[in-house]
Structure 1
Amino acid sequence: MEHGTLIPRPTESELELLQILWEKQPATVREIHDALNEDRPSGYTTVLKMLQIMTTKGLVVRDEANRAHVYRAALSQDLMQSKILKDLSKRLFAGSAAQLALHALSMEPASENELTEIRALIEHKHHADSSDHRPTKTSRPFTVSKKDRP
């Protein structure tokens, strides 16, 4: 799927299935159903119907080569998060990523490792801005560590 293609915002239920796919992909309907049922009961046909709808929307891709259809997310978790946050930033924070970040940080405490990553991103952005966006020898790409999240 091309990056410029318009992908609809997933519903809460669709995000649940995407979370499972990002962790297990590719996965069959049965595998997705079983993973979903670890948290709450859900019918197999309900999961199948949701995946069919998500395929039509372009949120998932279905491989029909085998008897059991195999699904995978159309976009990586990182790309989907970026698209959703960009939309949220535009709609609620007048396009200001800084205001979005400040608001998010004021709502929930960040771990020391997360704060270190935030400082590294700020430093990276500061160096990039002060050198006309040319990479410097001291700048490093920002990486997100999910292991410290609650």
Structure 2
Amino acid sequence: MTLPAYQTLASDENRAIIGAKLPALKAGDLQIQSERLPYSALQAKVQPFLAGQGWVMCRGEVLRQTELPAEHDLLEAEYCLGEQSLHIRLEQPGLYRCTLFTAKPEGTLLYRDQLVHSREGGKQVLCYRLWWQLGTTAPDEGRYRPLAQQFLGFSTLSAAEDL
């Protein structure tokens, strides 16, 4: 299904036929670069994101920060700045999966932004971009399948409602 066909299907006129409101989707492109790195190489990857936003999951807590914790504490982290985001996840002792996402405004992928309520409570939310890719081989040929989830940062519910 093409994006214009989806937008027609998602229109208010067809809502009664479908029985639900479909989310608004946009077209774009996402470059994904992933590698396995030791902890000692992570600081160079995180450095460009220090002026942005991020969260870090340590052994005992989740912190809202852009600095790396000590190696023995780091389990997972996400950072963002502009259209780029970085995801770090412990894969095995001493090795981390480091994935860089770079969004582009035009392309063949589809995306929508999603809000996730924060553990901090109140109106604090995390913003993520969900990406889909059109399958080109059986059994997914012609179907959009989930590709990635990109961290976009923190916001308040009232400021993020127009996502």
Q: Relative CO higher for 1 or 2, CA cutoff 8 Å, sep ≥ 6? A: 2
TM-score range, shorter chain: under 0.3
TM-score, length-normalised on structure 2? 0.25
Which has the greater radius of gyration?
Answer: 1
Higher strand share: 2
Higher helix share: 1
